[in-house]
Structure 1
């Protein structure tokens, strides 16, 4: 079956699914394979659950008499081709792509919130659908009624971002930053930079526009000669931003065109995320009054810069993910806060051969910080040789830490909780 013929089925379907348990009547089921599963074995179950067609790439599960099972060479590739075909049918819808090492999701959510003040139907990446599987599913969830879309691209090795751009075909793009994330795939910071700049490469080739933070020398240098719309605190940019984050306040403040804008997001590292969203809102002619309202209304609820309060302790829950760059930025901001402070930090994952070195650097920072107590959780932190200061305690895993904390209740003003997603440190809230 050619893609155009499958697309005809897609246009009258109830959508695309990769989980046979989520099938609705009339869905198209794509049998994808992972490290620990093979979706092909659920194709017949998907049909029984109401799928109009199941697409597989394993002959073992193909029955010639079954008209609604389609055997292809590679289901993932077929899914991506269908998404690209759908995008070609909706090229009139402007798409903004967001990528970068840190702050992608927060920036995407801020932009979506701002654009929603002007557009009735803003399409955007949901959950963590920002990879080679999630992106085609996101594209295929875009309806003809969509007025504008904001799509997030995550990557853990080179060539991924360019390939995803080839499916999305974005009209605009923004790179949040270049940090030490996914070093096991990118190898080093130079690999990270090359990978993220694939967005610029695609936009430049297709004569599309890029949003640029002029205070970032990498963005500024590599966007020369491109069609760009800029913001900065220091330079002569399209949008002039003044950053007003205060160490005595967990909120963030910015000034744009004599308008003071307040955000409940914590940390100086979030200022650029907010500034970029404001800039994109201005470009799309959302009034500053509406932008100000949108920024003030946006409260994160996804373990990213989330602020909670328990027993008169303010808890900064920033544990959706962590890498050396985001960990340092969080700790710098936390270190500036006045009051008694405790940090609970989990291992940083996917760092490859740099893992030990990067964890040692974090401990060195903590030793010099004014944070009164630091609890480090995970075997990577635990394996590092004994630290110099008693204020740092290490625990091999979360279970051991929970046993300890039950016997030693915490009393402080502020707690920062940060670590990679697999640590699921948000579960510690119950025990504080």
Structure 2
């Protein structure tokens, strides 16, 4: 994390200050939540949707804040600590992160994508740890607040950083990538996430491609070459000639071609180009072969050996709620409740299809942020369920009713039921701990379907005790 004198912070921001303490003292880390401030932090009060962080400065100081940023327009700055005056605390957070990034001698990989960016981040960070002192974005800190906090959390001796970048509108990735200035940029894929804001898939591809704008000179751009929509966007983007470009995918025209993908409970295996010895990745889902290959290309570009990559694939520190296998008595739960869109839902169903289990249940919740055609997109997902060997389809949420309708109209011999509340769904599912079966739980984060998994597993643990 950033450790600098208060005077250095003032100079990095070119800011004025109120000297209520020694500016030679050092701050250790930054925090935007007054409740989580620890001794030595720089407290940065942010204007949120509902709260103004300036109102909680007393709690931050009580918890040990050494200094605070303060917007000039805000009255009553504190008198107990050094106050650094800025026009906008959010912009100051971002400016400080960019200045700190320039002070660190490290290689940076920036990752974006509609699906798979977090898994790619987790895989690549595990690979790089075999060779470098490595840090990565924690959780989903990938927006205009999360990215600067991630940069400011990096240690002084970090050698490689893997930074996840998200977006909801055009221009957002451009802003983030100019802050991060990656040596390598990866686009895992383009999907329908954020269709509500961007209206067309072409706009989504264009927005994702903004990540290239911040690439360092002679940087490396890696992207999913199987997707025609992304390929077309790259063709029309007029990427500077000094940027190196590599593609990956299962189609033969790619620079790195993936083949012989196999899935077991222990993970996924695949071959790459002419390698006869397959790679094994400690993650489930055949789509993870794509994410692992993007990470492979970046790791090789940063000097890792094949042996180091193979070892790193076995030690992946995974972010939770994504393709997570959880035991529930005799039932095996595939918990993929962090996010959902049609592409990731079908990928999760593909993963469940690979398991040799006699009875399979899909619990599907709303897919959010899909725009005006959300009802038809949900209905189409319901129709697509006919391709899978499912015994039950259970849905929950207002939009998920359309999944139910699509399933009713296209599936035969399958129990289909819609639930209006989680408690009823949980009660329905509890008896399945005694059945040899598999349960997929998939929905957008706003649906909080992880609460369903937690309730089932917690109940089983209480019984065991």
TM-score of the alignment, normalized to the shorter chain, above 0.5: yes
| Equivalent residue, structure 2, for 1:341 | 360
Preserved CA contact (<8 Å) 1:319 1:421:
yes
Alignment match, 1:37: 51
1:30-72: CA deviation from partner (whole Å, max 9, x where unpaired): 1112112211101232123221222233744433866623443
Change (3 A) 1:9 1:230: farther
Which position in structure 2 is the counterpart of 1:214?
Answer: 225
1:2–1:213 CA distance, 2 compared to 1 (3 A): same
Aligned residue in 2 for 1:360? 379
Structure 1 residue 301, shift from structure 2 partner: 5.2
User: Deviations for 1:278-301, whole angstroms, at most 9, x for unmatched residues?
Assistant: 222222222222211221232635
Report what 2:313 is aligned to.
Answer: 295
Q: 1:383 to 1:332 in 2, by over 3 A?
A: closer
Superposed CA offset, 1:215-246 (max 9, x none):
34445451674412444444466545334224
Give 1:424's aligned residue.
448
Q: 1:117 aligns with which of 101, 126, 130?
A: 130
**Separation (CA, whole Å) in 1 of partners of 2:77 and 2:351:** 60
SS of the residue corresponding to residue 69 of structure 2 reads strand
> For 1:362 and 1:232, how far apart are their aligned partners in 2?
24
8 A Cα contact 1:123 1:148, kept in partner: yes
Contact between 2:190 and 2:230, CA under 8 Å: does it hold in 1? no
Encode CA deviations 1:55-101: one digit per residue, 9 max, x unaligned.
Answer: 233744433866623443211011111111112223x4211100000
**What's the TM-score, normalizing by structure 1?**
0.89
SS at match of 1:56: strand
Q: Check if 1:379 corresponds to 2:379.
A: no
Deviations along 1:10-41, one digit per CA (max 9) or x if unpaired, are: 99311110011222222111111211221110
Provide the residue aligned with 1:268 in structure 2: 286
TM-score (normalised: structure 2): 0.84
Aligned to 2:215, the other structure's residue is in SS state helix
Instruction: Report the count of equivalent residues.
Output: 428
Kindly state the Cα deviation for residue 131 of structure 1 after the two structures are TM-superposed: 0.7
Instruction: Indicate whether 1:135 and 2:154 are aligned.
Output: no
Aligned runs of 1:277-292 on 2, under 5 Å? 277-292=295-310
1:145 aligns with 2:162: no
Secondary structure of 2:28's counterpart equals coil
Query: Could you tell me how far apart the structure 2 residues matched to 1:39 and 1:227 are?
Result: 43
Determine the structure 2 residue equivalent to 1:182. Answer: 194
- Displacement after TM superposition at 1:382 (Å): 3.0
Distance 1:391 1:36 in 2: 43
Whether 1:162 aligns to 2:169 is no
C-alpha distance in structure 2 between counterparts of 1:45 and 1:194, whole Å: 43
Matched, 1:245 2:256: no
Question: Deviation per CA, 1:268-315, whole angstroms, max 9, x where unpaired?
Answer: 222201111122222222222221122123263501111122223222
Q: Does structure 2 retain, via aligned residues, the 8 Å contact 1:382–1:394?
A: yes
Match for residue 245 of structure 2? 228
250-259 or 126-135, which moves further after superposition?
Answer: 250-259
